[in-house]
Amino acid sequence: MNGQSAPERPGENVSSAGTPAGPGPAWPACGDLEMRIARDGTWYYKGGPIGRKRLVKLFASVLRREADGTYWLVTPVERGRIEVEDAPFVAEEVAERGSGPERTLALRTNMDEWVEAGADHPLRIMHDPDTGAPNPYILVREGLEARLTRSAFYHLVEMAETARDSEGRDRLGVWSKGSFFPLDPPETPASAG
């Protein structure tokens, strides 16, 4: 980022447009950083991949997502917008302990962070409307998700079991920390008959 010091307006925050947005510290926006996170989780700066994982982990630790869907690197003195092609992280590995509703599923991201699926870190599966192909995600922290790799998703599919959803329909999915996460697409009224 540009190394400028924080403005001398304590108690003022800055919106994504760089304008004051309520109480809190001020973060001057330094605009677009020419940084991108590709769908496969690779971080790029000015078109070239960032090869040092420790540096990528540092950037990931200050990554935030705004309500409008934009992604920002936020430091104590400034913030800059970055592009994210899909999700900022990739879940590459699944570990499990227990079974049934007492099972706990932990997923390791490409930042070597383990996240346990559950009410605080839900799994969600988006199904392509044209092909029906699954696009699985887990919430890592507020507003930031990891897309599961194909092998991680297939690992979940191997553990899948049938349970009734809140509407009384049988669904194929996985349990983690007492929460059931369907893996199959929900039945639509047109396909139900």
Once rounded to an integer, what is the mean pLDDT over residues 151-170?
91
pLDDT at residue 12, as a whole number? 37
Phi then psi for residue 4, to 5 deg, are -70, 150
Query: pLDDT tens, 12-57?
Result: 344 444 433 433 455 567 778 899 999 999 999 999 999 999 999 9
pLDDT at residue 89, as a whole number? 98
Query: pLDDT tens, 115-146?
Result: 999 999 999 999 888 888 899 999 999 999 99
Q: What is the CATH number of domain 89-182?
A: 2.30.270.10
Please name the fold of domain 29-84: duf1285 like fold (3.10.540)
Task: For residue 19, give the DSSP letter.
Answer: S
**DSSP states along 127-141:** E-TTT--EEEEEEEE
% of the chain at pLDDT higher than 70? 82
Of 92, 91, 56, 88, the residue nearest 69 (C-alpha): 88
Rounded to two decimals, the pTM is 0.79
Residue extents of the structural domains in the chain: 29-84, 89-182
